[in-house]
């Protein structure tokens, strides 16, 4: 059974405050999947709010990956998935055939479009921004080979870059097969964004700078309302071909993307126990412009799904009242503190024109709902939160970041490309050029020289060989190259800074809080700004890794130098040594064990970042771990995870051995030889 973690405090509070009722789900909590993309988050919270208000249900929103929540729904551990795309989930399709899941309603009028896009200014230009058309003849996928240099991939300069879905998403597989069918994989690098947020950031950064980018996207989505995109034409839609593209089974053939229907998926038990709620789901439907505008406001103003749902219920009662029977509308009006307009029909059907509403004080909602919703999502909370002032720097930071991307984005990208082409790619290519047998021999020699333990040396070689045996050797080299470059950069930065800090009390006091922030700040906080400035791929992963990995090296370098015996230093001074000689011949050699411990910890922390780095497009073992999480492919994730553990153990033991004091190490080697 899939175990899903309990929801956030906001949803738990809603569930606790909901009145008990035997009518809704027999008094049991209704569990909704917390889907991560904006349209699904918004729809989930709208449904949750209406279930509480109109049907007096207790609700709980449970987080989890798409594969995990879909499996939980099929097993009856969840009750509702608010946004289910047709033809996209084999798990749901099997559950529907087995009778374990019911898919009801059509929540988006006209269906959800998806496809390959470029910014509109690429084809038609933008006079207001001074952008001339870059590819005026780009209409169909057949035109893409001619423009591969326009969308040049800095990691593979001879190819263009196609920005695909994150690894593990269904759309990632369909796009990969379409590229193969059209033979575009010869001209374009199939670049997978690590997460949906990384995909959005890459598109936004390119659009704000007026640069060309080729990507897959869909609607409903906030970016569709914010920006103007040009869709790349595909061959006519063919259902049989589309089925083979999605499943990967049979002979692949070309087809346009399916216009997906969005529905609500419910478990069999919930559907049979709550026919009135199923009737509500059958009527639930958004118009695309309204849904896109809601999502855009949600993303632009950084509103939570709960806050945006309250805003929708307050501003658009004519929409949601049409979904409910008269008695449910009356309960919702009372629960939300709203009075129906005079022109509402007696039967409870909402008028076709927007209705005026009034909010009743003391009805359980703030008198100024719009003002309440204008607060940042982090401030949505209990009534006592009103004692705090409404301060937030989020809008200021977002505005400054966007301004920086527009003004200095090109300079950052050029610096990123320089680091990529002069450091990262050469190291990775050199690592991949080394034959595996030679790499294993080098590891064996290094391990023997460091430890003089034959059993340990053989174990290291066998474990690394097993990584290659399961088909992960190339990804192992990609990960090792990133860790190696990150560690070298960290040493170049960390050791000199540590030396300077060891000799300056003022510098130590300045560095201490900075290092504390670097070590404790969640890496996801700085991933997005680094991504928007430097782009997707290895370079932002390198910077994020250095930020995370360099503090222990600085701290341990300072510690080692400050622990050098003063008597030894005074004895050296009596012989007239210079400051440089004191550093290089006395203090650094004596501090070597501590510095080597810092290098060891820096390497381990760099390796710990590989999964996080995969979220912004860095290739390697972390990519397989992330894909395993997103698709619930336990075997794939575990296989890559064990490979990371093996690499970590090999690096840790060898660097630890070299970090021991020379005399102690030589004594250990003599003991081993004596045996």
For residue 125, the tally of other CB atoms under 10 A from its CB is: 15
**Helix extents (H) in 99-195:** 120-124, 170-181
The neighbour count for residue 500, using CB atoms within 10 Å, is 15
The pLDDT tens digits for 159-175 are 999 999 887 777 888 89
* Stretch 555-561: mean pLDDT: 91
Record the tokens describing residue 601, joined without a space. 């910890």
Question: Could you tell me the pLDDT band of residue 142, with boundaries at 50, 70 and 90?
Answer: very high
pTM metric for this prediction: 0.70
Pairing of the two strands 114-119 and 214-218: antiparallel
Query: Whole-angstrom distance between the N-terminal and C-terminal Cα of the chain?
Result: 52
453, with CB counted inside 10 A (0-12, 13-18, 19+), is middle
**Beta pairing, strands 262-267 & 188-192:** unpaired
Cα angle value 412/415/419 (rounded, 5°)? 140
Mean local confidence (pLDDT), 228-244: 91
State the Cα–Cα distance between residues 494 and 558, nearest whole angstrom: 10
Phi, psi of 570 (to 5 degrees): -65, -35
Q: What is the pLDDT of residue 663?
A: 53
Beta strands in 239-318 (DSSP E): 262-267
Note the pLDDT of residue 204: 87
Task: Kindly state the average pLDDT of the residues 459-465.
Answer: 91
Residue-level pLDDT at 169: 77
SS3 for 399-414 is: HHHHHHHHHHHHHHHH
CB within 8 Å of 38: residues ≥ 6 apart: 221, 222, 295, 298, 299
Whether residue 121 has pLDDT greater than 90: yes
179 pLDDT higher than 90: yes
> What's the pLDDT score for residue 17?
40
The pLDDT of residue 587 is above 50: yes
Determine which of 291-305, 351-365, 419-433, 456-470 has the lowest per-residue pLDDT on average: 351-365
Residue 425: per-residue pLDDT: 85
Calpha distance 616→542 (Å, rounded): 11
Lookup result for tokens 């063919």:
238
Distance CA(181)–CA(177), nearest Å, equals: 6
Q: pLDDT by residue (tens digit) across 660-672? A: 665 555 555 555 5
Q: Which residue has the tokens 């553990």?
A: 645
Report the range out of 2-6, 378-382, 562-566 with the highest average pLDDT: 562-566
> Which is more confidently placed, 329 or 366?
329
CA distances (Å), 6 to each of 61, 77, 203, 505, 597, in order? 8, 12, 33, 47, 39
Mean pLDDT for 345-361 is: 37
Decide: 378 and 10 in contact? Cβ < 8 Å: no
Which pLDDT does position 548 carry in this prediction? 87
Angle, CA of 486, 492 and 498, to the nearest 5° = 115
Write the DSSP assignment of 59-115 as a string of letters: EEEEE--HHHHHHHHHHTS--EEEEEETTS-HHHHHHHHHTSEEEE---BTT-B-EE
Which pLDDT belongs to residue 22?
Answer: 53
- The single residue listed with the structure tokens 């040493």 is 491
The mean of the pLDDT values for the chain is 81
**What sign does the CA torsion over 376, 379, 382, 383 have?**
negative
Using pLDDT thresholds of 50, 70 and 90, give the confidence band for residue 208: confident
Nearest 5°: phi and psi at 81? Answer: -115, 115
Domains and CATH numbers, the chain: 9-111+261-347 (3.40.190.10), 114-247 (3.40.190.100), 397-674 (1.10.3720.10)
Average confidence (pLDDT) over 341-361: 38
CB 26 within 8 A of CB 79: no
How large is the greatest C-alpha to C-alpha distance in the chain, in angstroms?
Answer: 103
Distances (CA, A) of 356 to 166, 284, 337, 634: 43, 21, 13, 52
Segment 256-265 shows an average pLDDT of: 87
Pair of tokens at residue 270 = 């919930």
> How far apart are the C-alpha atoms of 176 and 190, rounded to whole Å?
7
pLDDT band at 555 (very low <50, low <70, confident <90, very high): very high
User: What are the backbone angles phi and psi of residue 93, rounded to the nearest 5°?
Assistant: -60, -40
Q: Given a cut of 90, is residue 216 above it in pLDDT?
A: yes
Q: What is the CA radius of gyration of the chain?
A: 29
Q: What share of the chain is helix, strand, coil (3-state, %, to 5)?
A: 65, 10, 25
pLDDT value at 57 more than 70: yes
CB 348 within 8 A of CB 325: yes
Q: Which of 542, 610, 536, 545 is nearest to 189 (CA)?
A: 536
Q: Evaluate the CA torsion angle 407, 408, 411, 416 in order and state its sign.
A: negative
Query: What is the model's pLDDT at position 664?
Result: 55
**Residue 70 Cα distances to 219, 387, 599, angstroms:** 21, 41, 43
The residue with tokens 């390497």 is 603
Q: Report whether pLDDT(451) > 90.
A: no
CA dihedral 445, 447, 449, 453 (to 10 degrees): -110
| Partners of residue 266 on adjacent β-strands | 80, 102
Which pLDDT value is given to residue 538? 82
Region 643-666: mean pLDDT is 77
CA 259, CA 87: separation in Å to the nearest integer? 10
- Give 365 or 458, the one with higher predicted confidence: 458
Give the residue carrying structure tokens 């390796």: 607
Q: How confident is the model at residue 63 (pLDDT cuts 50, 70, 90)?
A: confident
Task: Kindly indicate the confidence band of residue 674, based on its pLDDT and cuts at 50, 70 and 90.
Answer: low
414 to each of 409, 421, 522, 654, how far by Cα in Å? 9, 10, 27, 37
CA distance 610 to 631: 19
What mean pLDDT do residues 372-398 have? 58
CA distance 628 to 622: 10
In the block, which residue shows the tokens 């038609």? 124
pLDDT band with cut points at 50, 70 and 90 for residue 4:
very low
507-536: per-residue pLDDT in tens?
999 999 999 888 888 777 777 777 777 877
Of 13-27, 168-182, 468-482, where does mean pLDDT reach its minimum? 13-27
Which range has the top average pLDDT, 259-263, 372-376, 622-626? 259-263
H/E run at residue 550: helix 538-562
Is the pLDDT at 291 greater than 70? The verdict is yes
pLDDT score at 151 = 93
pLDDT at position 500 over 70: yes
| DSSP per residue, 299-367 | HHTT--HHHHHHHHHHH-HHHHGGGS-HHHHHHHHHHHTB---TTS-TTSPPPSS-----B-TTSSS-S
Q: How far apart are CA 651 and CA 579, in angstroms?
A: 34
């Amino acid at each position: 059974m899939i175990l899903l973690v309990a929801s956030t405090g906001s949803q738990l509070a809603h569930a606790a405050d909901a009145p008990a009722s035997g009518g809704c789900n027999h008094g049991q909590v209704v569990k909704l999947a917390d889907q991560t993309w904006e349209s699904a988050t918004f729809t989930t919270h709208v449904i949750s709010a209406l279930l509480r208000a109109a049907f007096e249900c207790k609700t709980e929103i449970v987080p989890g990956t798409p594969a995990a929540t879909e499996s939980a729904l099929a097993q009856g551990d969840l009750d509702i998935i608010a946004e289910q795309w047709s033809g996209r989930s084999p798990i749901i399709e099997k559950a529907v055939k087995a009778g374990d899941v019911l898919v009801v309603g059509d929540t988006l009028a006209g269906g959800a479009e998806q496809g390959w896009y470029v910014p509109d200014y690429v084809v038609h230009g933008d006079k207001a921004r001074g952008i001339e058309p870059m590819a005026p003849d780009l209409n169909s996928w057949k035109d893409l080979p001619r423009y591969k240099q326009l969308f040049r991939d800095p990691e593979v300069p001879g190819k263009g870059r196609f920005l695909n879905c994150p690894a593990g998403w269904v759309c990632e597989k369909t796009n990969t097969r379409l590229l193969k069918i059209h033979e575009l994989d010869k001209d374009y690098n199939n670049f997978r964004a690590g997460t949906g947020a990384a995909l959005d950031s890459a598109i936004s950064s390119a659009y704000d700078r007026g640069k060309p980018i080729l990507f897959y996207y869909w609607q409903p989505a906030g970016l569709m309302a914010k920006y103007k995109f040009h869709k790349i034409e595909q061959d006519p839609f063919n259902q049989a071909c589309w089925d083979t593209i999605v499943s990967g089974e049979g002979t692949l053939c070309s087809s346009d993307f399916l216009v997906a229907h969005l529905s609500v998926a419910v478990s069999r038990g919930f559907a049979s126990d709550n026919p009135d709620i199923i009737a509500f789901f059958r009527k639930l439907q958004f118009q695309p412009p309204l849904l896109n505008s809601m999502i855009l406001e949600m993303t632009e103003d950084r509103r939570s799904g709960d806050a945006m749902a309250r805003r929708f219920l307050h501003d658009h009662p004519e929409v949601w009242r049409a979904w409910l029977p008269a008695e449910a509308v009356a309960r919702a009006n009372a629960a939300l503190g709203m009075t129906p307009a005079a022109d509402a029909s007696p039967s409870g059907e909402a008028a076709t024109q927007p209705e005026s509403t009034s909010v009743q004080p003391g009805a359980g909602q703030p008198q100024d709902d719009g003002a309440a919703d204008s607060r940042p999502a982090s401030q949505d909370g209990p009534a006592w939160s009103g004692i705090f002032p409404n301060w937030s720097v989020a809008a200021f930071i977002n505005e400054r970041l966007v301004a920086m991307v527009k003004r200095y984005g090109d300079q950052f990208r050029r610096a990123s490309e320089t680091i990529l082409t002069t450091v990262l790619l050469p190291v990775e290519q050199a690592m991949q050029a080394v034959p595996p047998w030679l790499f294993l021999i080098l590891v064996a020699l290094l391990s023997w020289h460091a430890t003089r333990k034959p059993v340990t040396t053989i174990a290291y070689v066998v474990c690394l060989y097993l990584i290659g045996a399961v088909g992960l050797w190339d990804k192992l080299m990609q990960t090792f190259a990133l860790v190696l470059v990150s560690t070298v950069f960290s040493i170049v930065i960390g050791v000199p800074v540590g030396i300077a800090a060891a000799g300056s009390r003022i510098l130590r006091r300045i560095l201490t809080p900075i290092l504390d922030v670097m070590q404790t700040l969640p890496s996801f906080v700085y991933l997005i700004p680094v991504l928007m400035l430097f782009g997707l791929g290895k370079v932002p992963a390198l910077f994020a890794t250095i930020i995370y990995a360099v503090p222990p090296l600085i701290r341990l370098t300072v510690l080692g130098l400050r622990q050098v015996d003063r008597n030894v230093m005074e004895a050296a001074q009596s012989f007239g040594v210079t400051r440089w000689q004191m550093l290089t011949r006395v203090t650094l050699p004596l501090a070597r064990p501590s510095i080597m411990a810092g290098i060891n910890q820096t390497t381990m922390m760099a390796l710990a970042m590989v999964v996080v780095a995969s979220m912004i497009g860095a290739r390697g073992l972390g990519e397989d771990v992330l894909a395993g999480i997103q698709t619930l492919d336990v075997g794939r994730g575990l296989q890559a995870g064990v490979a990371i553990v093996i690499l970590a153990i090999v690096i840790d033991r060898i660097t630890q051995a070299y970090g021991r004091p020379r005399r102690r190490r030589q004594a250990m080697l003599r003991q081993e030889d004596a045996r």
